[in-house]
Chains A and B, each alone.
Chain A
Amino acid sequence: MTKPSEPAASGHAAAGPPRRNLLAAACAIVIGNLVGLFPLAAGALVFFDPLFRRKKGPAEGPPYRRIASVDALPADGTPVQVPVIADLTDAWNREPNQPVGAVYLRKVGGEVTCLNAICPHAGCFVAYAAERKLFQCPCHTSSFLLDGERILPSPSPRDMDSLKVDEAKLKDGEVWVQFVNYYPGKEHQEAKQ
């Protein structure tokens, strides 16, 4: 607060009981804060919009998406990087059949395993090092075995995120995967919504 000024040159003394001054001060503060904070509050609503519009996913999790056919996967267990195609919503745009992420598929025996290509450490795109037969993150050098298990010591807090593959569709020769992105940096999987 500025110090009360001396009676000004206008000659009118700002005389009166201190109580009234206090009231005026209190009102000024309240009104001042109100008008000052209103635009901030209005802005805050929009600013925090991403938190309000967090979607509640269906209880059974995200839908299965067709990723590839079983025939297309090498029989020797070499992982294949496959893009995940889905409708992509980006704020005001919705575009059908866009790549929204990528997974590594691997056929071992009759089983097909699916790993999200995003590193659970800090979210970089994990590369498959064919020569070393392991997955390697180009950022902070986390390495993973072919089944996604991390090679310790590793910057990554957990193994690569394996995604659910639809068993029934697998029998029909198709790979359908429940594609989820998980928050990186956590010991346990936490799905992004």
Chain B
Amino acid sequence: MIGQFKAWLDHRIGLSDILQHALYEPIPSGARFRYITGSVLVFAFITQAITGMFLWMAYSPSSQTAYESVYYIQHEMTGGWLLRGVHHFMAQAMVVVMALHMLQVVWDGAYRAPREVNYWLGLVLMQLVMGLGLTGYLLPWDQKGYWATNVATNLMTLVPFAGKEIQQIAVGGSEYGHHTLTRFFAMHAGILPALLLIFLVLHVAIFRRHGIMAKVTPGRPDDHFWPKQVLFDAVGCLVLLGVVLACVVHFDLGVFRGELPPEHRGAELGAPADPSEAYSAARPEWYYLFLFQLLKYFPGSTEIWGAIIIPGIVMTYLFLFPIIGKWEMGHQLNRIALVLLLVGAGGLTLIALREDAANPDFAQAKRDAAHDAERTLELINRREWLPEEGKLSDVRLIPKQGAVYLLRNDPKTRGQRLFVQHCASCHSYVNPADPKGENGPSIPLTQSPQTEQIEKGGKKVEIVKRGPDKMPLYDPIPAGAGAPNLFGFGSRAWIRGLLDPEKIAAPVVAGEPLPSKNPLAAADPENPDNYKRPLIADYFGNTRHKSGRMADWVKQHADFLKENGDAIAAALSAQAGLRSQTELESADEALIRKGVGIIQQNCINGCHRFGDDGQLGLAPDLTGYGSYEWMMGLVSDPTHERFYGRGNDRMPSFAKDLDHPAKNNVSVRELSLIVDWLRGQYYDAHDPRPVLPHTEREAEEIVRTSRTLAEPRTALVGAPPPAAEAGERAQAERLFTANCAACHSHIDAAGKGIAAKVPSAPNLFGFGSRAWLAGILDPKKIAGPEYFGNTRHKRGQMAAEFVQTDLVDLDDDGKAKLASIIAALSAEAQLPAQAADDKKAAEDKTIEKGRAAMADSFGSYSCIDCHKFHDDGALGSAPDLTGWGSQAWLTKIIANPKHEEFYRDTNDRMPSFGGAHPLLTPAEIDLLARWLRGEKLK
């Protein structure tokens, strides 16, 4: 049956002839292991073609998906790492075998007539294999491949005449992007393998035409290719596969026990490519290192020699081997030349490796690269604790923006760096328990020693300057250095330290010098970098606040704080909601509640606001202190009245203008990374209840909320449950205390009511009443503390040129006129308490008289010379008196005192409580106005 089929097939396609031709090639003097290199190369190529095609099925070439699909192959797909590992290491094995094959061909003289053409085909094949290696290196689109290939394509521009065009065609534009990948992939998986196959077929066909270049040993019997040489070839392939597999598992015997750590699984995959991210560990694949090293020796414009001319000459020379081989001694010359070339390339490779090994920067860069790669994996596999469901979420994988987006927005790695960039010139970040940063990041403020220049080996070198006692000299500690150490900001320990009279304003001190982390610098005792001394400023050390009210208060209340400091710290720290204190805080509820009470009793009187108590403008709001929302608000604009206001000491507003993000020094996204890093709000794979950082959109929304004072932003943590719904009066008083009492008092003649901490604006008790008006129109009172005493208006036109000039020593007639004006103006307010008086004044025409009198001059001015009053006068220089003190008038001036009906640019510090970014809601303003007017409240 089988015999019949074979005969049938043989008749149609000549199978036995093909087999005969393929298997029974004669081998003079018999099979030898030295003949296997060619077959092994074919095996390697077939392996690459097969594994490559399977990789192709899972690979997606675009800058959004290349890294991601390779990640998926490597870490998610069954056997993916094995497939990728075999492809990766077989490629390298192919280069090694190719070098051996070539060495053998040249050594044995197999390049000479009549085999020249086949030798040349072999050289073409070599170029194709190198091209496959180069194009394949980029495809994972990780940092290493990206930056290394970048160098290669940049070198293309050195080609004379058409260099830039060649580079653009290769890259698919002038910058790396989607089309770089599609093109490289088409080359790698399509054009180059097709060419390789064509040249391989020719190479083998011509090889068969001339037969094997046999090493003839007299007496050794001839043989055929089949079966012995085939067996040898197969053994060779097996050995190669074995070596490749050993490389794939990184020679880790754990593979036999089924324990292979991820970093030993096949080929490396770095962090995703990022053109804005420096990558200092960029190196080409090892078999290109000699070319890489060669480039270092060609300075400036001679680069083309290292990049193109010398490699070109070498290739041409290799092409000329068959011709040189015809000369007498030519073959020996070729042998020597090839060995020299290989030794040269090997030597350059070794130098490159040794230079890198001796370079601490490179070692650091490798470590950084490994960390980033590891972190990328962690981030892709991030999970989130879902408190409502009481379990971990699914793995979140990669968002559409790609893996690079995850890394760019990772507070753990990027936040720290941004802190160094934007904050570390004033703030340090040093764990007091680990000042050298052995178990975590440590970012000290440092001061360099004085230096001097000396001549050393013909070069000018900067060395540390020493005093007579041989100790390094330093400048005095600069007055500006030393804002608080932000390590553990908002934590109990941090706050407890702030409340310590010894610590809060402790002067900045210099610590022991820190030796350089660069081993080369550290080895030189005169290198100034070994004498940078840390400046330790834990709290207000060198800020204006060191002699501020907070520091004074802490010093004056040392005993009180000794007793209550822990509770205050626990309560305040609870507002921050730090991930690291979650467990602690759920255990300490009683302590926190006690602390909240203490804060409410002691910290809100004229300083801080805390929840609904206290007022803003004098010291930072303690509501949500240290929380993400609070910190984003503070960092984006510390001059905002919720934080330091005008008391801000040199801290820049990093992102004040939310409507024009381009104007900000640091984007909200970056601030969010810094804040999340400081607060430990980032994905931690070892956390049983991991959290994820805030997104850019969340960050922006939260910054906006942090600046609206009207709405309660954050509920107090640990506050007692609110008492029964307080009445309108209580609410209005609270609103006044919180929003107005920084400047205005509201006290009656007996001194009862709400007193401003630092009165700087009129007392508003009885505003609108005849008594109030009589006061402001009294030359003795207008510039006193009850009225304009502490405002800019004290020396204004109203006070100086009218009341204190025209209204002094009035005659009886004048007094009567003034009284009628007071009655008329006060009637505008329509105060409930004055309703009866107003009615009487209307009946006896006092109001009418008063209105008319407003146009009468008292000497130099009349009222309507400056004010508008109903149809008389004009807007512009002073507030409109039409409806003065009425509900409508009051709500309008509270909402916007800068309105043209009121003070315009003469407004003195009064905030606009309404408007686009309201500090109070319209309902709150309405309530305040009604309360001020003494209306009946619910």
List residues of chain A with CB under 8 Å of any chain B CB. 47-48, 50-51, 53-54, 66, 68-69, 71-72, 74, 80-81, 83-85, 90-93, 97, 99-102, 117, 121-125, 127, 129, 131, 136, 138-141, 152-158, 174, 181, 183-187, 190, 192-193
Contacts and interface: CB of A to CB of B under 8 A. Distances in A.
A83 B669 CA distance: 14
A122 B276 contact: no
A192 B665 contact: no
Given A50-B172, A155-B299, A187-B301, A136 B361 contact: yes
Given A50-B173, A90-B63, A155 B361 contact: no
Contacts of B516: 131
A125 B935 CA distance: 71
* 3 tightest Cβ-Cβ pairs between the two chains A and B: A99-B276, A138-B280, A90-B177
A157 B172 contact: no
B174 interface: yes
Given A93-B178, A131-B516, A187-B301, A123 B165 contact: no
A93 B529 CA distance: 46
16 contacts: A50-B168, A54-B174, A90-B177, A122-B303, A123-B151, A123-B154, A131-B518, A131-B521, A138-B365, A140-B295, A152-B299, A156-B300, A184-B154, A185-B158, A185-B303, A185-B304
Contact of A157 (B276, B303, B408): B303
Given A50-B179, A54-B174, 6 more contacts: A68-B665, A85-B667, A90-B63, A97-B661, A125-B278, A127-B280
A51 B278 contact: no
A135 to B, nearest CB: 11
Listed residue (B155, B278, B362) with the most chain A CB atoms within 10 angstroms of its CB: B278
B224 interface: no
Given A50-B171, A72-B665, A156-B300, A99 B361 contact: no
A157 B300 contact: yes
Contact of A124 (B150, B298, B303): B150
Nearest to B177: A90
B326 to A, nearest CB: 31
Contacts of B365: 138
Contacts of A99: 274-276, 408
Contact of A185 (B154, B518, B665): B154
B172 A186 contact: no
Interface string B500-528: 00000000000000001010010000000
Contacts of B175: 90, 181, 192
B299 A138 contact: no
B367 interface: no
Nearest to B276: A99
Given A71-B665, A154-B300, A125 B147 contact: yes
Contacts of A139: 151, 282, 292
A69 B665 contact: yes
Listed residue (B151, B276, B362, B652) with the most chain A CB atoms within 10 angstroms of its CB: B276
Listed residue (B63, B64, B151, B158) with the most chain A CB atoms within 10 angstroms of its CB: B151
A81 B279 CA distance: 14
Given A50-B172, A153-B299, A124 B151 contact: yes
B782 to A, nearest CB: 42
Given A185-B158, A192-B174, A47 B361 contact: no
B137 to A, nearest CB: 15
Nearest to B297: A155
Given A50-B169, A99-B275, A157-B300, A122 B295 contact: yes
Given A83-B276, A99-B276, A131-B516, A54 B157 contact: no
Contacts of B154: 122-123, 183-185
A140 B296 contact: yes
B750 to A, nearest CB: 52
B276 A131 contact: no
A155 B301 contact: no
B646 interface: no
Contacts of B793: none
Interface of B: 63-64, 147, 150-151, 154-155, 157-158, 164-165, 168-169, 171-175, 177-179, 274-282, 292, 295-296, 298-301, 303-304, 307, 361-362, 365, 408, 421-422, 425, 516, 518, 521, 529, 652, 661-663, 665-667
Given A154-B300, A187-B300, A91 B177 contact: yes
A174 to B, nearest CB: 8
A48 B169 contact: yes
Contacts of B301: 157, 186-187
A128 to B, nearest CB: 9
Contacts of B666: 72
Contacts of B63: 90
Contacts of A174: 663
B361 A129 contact: yes
Contacts of B295: 121-122, 140, 155
Contact of B174 (A91, A185, A193): A193
A174 B663 CA distance: 8
A154 B304 CA distance: 14
Contact of A183 (B164, B299, B652): B164
A138 B665 contact: no
Nearest to A50: B168
A93 B64 contact: yes
A116 B431 CA distance: 36
Contacts of B168: 50-51, 54
Contacts of A91: 172-173, 177-179
A44 to B, nearest CB: 10
B361 A101 contact: no
B195 to A, nearest CB: 15
Contacts of B147: 124-125
A47 B662 contact: no
Contacts of B169: 47-48, 50-51
A68 B408 CA distance: 19
A66 B663 contact: yes
Contacts of A181: 174-175
Contacts of B425: 74
A154 B303 CA distance: 10
B622 to A, nearest CB: 29
A156 B299 CA distance: 6
Contacts of A154: 299-300
Given A90-B177, A183-B157, A138 B652 contact: no
A53 B652 CA distance: 44
B278 A117 contact: yes
A81 B150 CA distance: 21
B165 A51 contact: yes
B663 A92 contact: no
A99 B529 CA distance: 33
B278 A127 contact: yes
A158 B422 CA distance: 31
A90 B361 contact: no
Contacts of A84: 276
Nearest to A133: B462
Nearest to A102: B276
Contacts of B277: 125
B155 to A, nearest CB: 6
Listed residue (A71, A99, A101, A174) with the most chain B CB atoms within 10 angstroms of its CB: A99
Nearest to B162: A51
Contacts of A158: 300
A99 B299 CA distance: 31
A141 B154 CA distance: 17
A45 B826 CA distance: 86
Nearest to A174: B663
A193 to B, nearest CB: 6
Contacts of A92: 178
Listed residue (B175, B307, B516, B518) with the most chain A CB atoms within 10 angstroms of its CB: B175
A84 B174 CA distance: 17
Contacts of B296: 140-141, 155
B178 A186 contact: no
A193 B164 CA distance: 11
A138 B178 contact: no
